[in-house]
A and B are shown apart, each in its own frame.
Chain A
Amino acid sequence: MSLIKHPKSLLVIIAEANLEKLLIKDIKKLGAVGYTVFDVRGGGHSGVREGTWEADRTIRIEVIADELVADKIAQYVLEQYGKDFGMTLYFSTVSVLRPQKF
């Protein structure tokens, strides 16, 4: 028996941990059902963030949603925080088994 798979958008947001509460609020408000948050560390345009203490933490939020919803979230997040906060956003297409969950 082959599994029936459904395409969805995976939006990944890497941002300062300070923004976690605000981002989650925005993500839910804009129509995503769920999200996953990871603590991460790394470096980029905004310098190196090692996550060694409160103000130095970075998070990676993954959201699986319909393409339209993922686009809306990315656009909103970029407009709201892109200017003042270090941030990376990217998309990919993933396959899910239960599309109603997203």
Chain B
Amino acid sequence: MVFDVVILFFILGIFARLVGSDLRLPEALYETLSIYLLLAIGLKGGIELSQQPLASLAPEILAAAVMSFTIPLLLYPIFRFAKFNWADSASIGAHFGSVSVVTFAVALAALAKQGISYESHAPLWVAVMEAPGLVAGVLLARAAQRRAEATQFVSKGVILGSEPIKRTEVLGTATVALSSAKQGGWKTIAHDVIFGKSVLLLLGGLFIGAIAGVEGTAPIKVLFIDPFKGVLALFLLELGLVAGGRLAEVKKYGFKILLLGIAVPLCLAVIGMLTGHLLGLSAGGVAIFTTLAASASYIAAPTAMRIAIPQANAGLSITLSLGIVFPFNVVIGIPIYIQMGLWITS
């Protein structure tokens, strides 16, 4: 079979949406499934972590964080060149800098199916890569906003010519914009990302798994480990429905966004592959690092960016990350990333 069975559920979800089916998973189930997946991924990694020393992981953790932080900085000039405004360029970059846990889960399922082993503490990379990309996106936006305001002040002064420059008026506008940015200040963003459900459950699961070990987690194995793939299939059905709803939006934003949604993950995949290889990871590990670099967040990033960069067009970045990048990665990207991992380590 070409596709892993979970991908078929995703395609079913997209199909249901495109044909206008009334299929809709209850919101409470979506919440439950996402909590389950995050905890289960964390627990699985934690159980493996309990069997190996922690100190050797420092370079990987550092590399994961640096990669996540650097991606928005690399993408910003590219998006500006593609004629996106500063707010959208920073926000989209942050979506790519952060990661998609479900894309990661699909990559794990694909590796397991092909019998390719990988570093069992990989969920730790995911937890580390959630936040730095968002921070970089916000930094880019703040810098660009300051530049935009300075330009606005100067140009207004020139246009007004002989009239007295209404400094308070201009500064007033800037103050409103900045105070609105302050609403989503660092404290709020840091709190929402670190204590948001994704990182909290992933790290919480890792922690519980690492402390309890194989023996301690044996009684809950039947709930958290064995049914994982079935739950992932159900979650992907729901995500197919959501992503299918976004496909119509792709047309609205044009061909450019489709091209970027495919080209950017492939370019980022090369960075992930090289970083993974430099770290000396296994073929499966490199494939996961490649997948993480290529993935775009559609849960943590949209929520954080909406508050931190309210000027950005949320519809655009969500359509890109959930309507194009996510389907591309799970259906076409992951098999390519696995081949990249196998190729560079062979």
Could you tell me which A residues sit within 8 Å of B by CB distance?
Answer: 16, 18-19, 21-22, 39, 47, 50-56, 79-81, 83-85
For A84, the closest partner residue in chain B by CB is B310
| A51-B27 in contact given A16-B306, A80-B180, A84-B311 (Cβ < 8 Å) | yes
A50 to B126 Cα, complex, angstroms: 28
Please name all residues of chain A whose beta carbon is closer than 8 Å to the beta carbon of B238 when the two chains form the complex: 52-53
For A16, the closest partner residue in chain B by CB is B306
Please name all residues of chain B whose beta carbon is closer than 8 Å to the beta carbon of A39 when the two chains form the complex: 27
* Stretch of B4-12, B272-280, B281-289, B295-303 at the chain-chain interface: B295-303
A52 touching B27, Cβ below 8 Å: yes
Q: Contacts A16-B306, A22-B184 given; 13 further ones with Cβ under 8 A?
A: A21-B188, A50-B245, A52-B242, A52-B245, A53-B242, A53-B299, A54-B299, A55-B303, A55-B318, A79-B176, A80-B179, A81-B180, A85-B306
Please name all residues of chain A whose beta carbon is closer than 8 Å to the beta carbon of B242 when the two chains form the complex: 52-53, 56
| A84-B307 in contact given A51-B27, A52-B30, A55-B298 (Cβ < 8 Å) | no
For B241, the closest partner residue in chain A by CB is A52
A22 touching B241, Cβ below 8 Å: no
A84 touching B180, Cβ below 8 Å: yes
- Whether B339 is near chain A, meaning CB under 8 Å from some CB there, is no
Report B232 CB to chain A, min CB distance, Å.
16
How many positions in chain B have a CB within 8 Å of any CB in the partner chain? 26
Report A18 CB to chain B, min CB distance, Å.
4
- Whether B216 is near chain A, meaning CB under 8 Å from some CB there, is no
B176 touching A18, Cβ below 8 Å: no
Please name all residues of chain A whose beta carbon is closer than 8 Å to the beta carbon of B27 when the two chains form the complex: 39, 51-52
Report B188 CB to chain A, min CB distance, Å.
8
Report A97 CB to chain B, min CB distance, Å.
34
A22 to B299 Cα, complex, angstroms: 19
A-B contact pairs, 14 of them (CB 8 A): A19-B307, A22-B307, A39-B27, A52-B25, A52-B242, A53-B238, A53-B239, A53-B299, A54-B299, A54-B302, A55-B318, A80-B180, A81-B180, A84-B310
A80 to B310 Cα, complex, angstroms: 11
A55 to B176 Cα, complex, angstroms: 25
| A18-B311 in contact given A52-B24, A55-B318 (Cβ < 8 Å) | no
For A18, the closest partner residue in chain B by CB is B306
Produce 1/0 per residue, B304-331, CB < 8 A to A: 0011001100110010000000000000
For A86, the closest partner residue in chain B by CB is B314
Produce 1/0 per residue, B236-276, CB < 8 A to A: 00110110010000000000000000000000000000000
Produce 1/0 per residue, B141-180, CB < 8 A to A: 0000000000000000000000000000000000010011
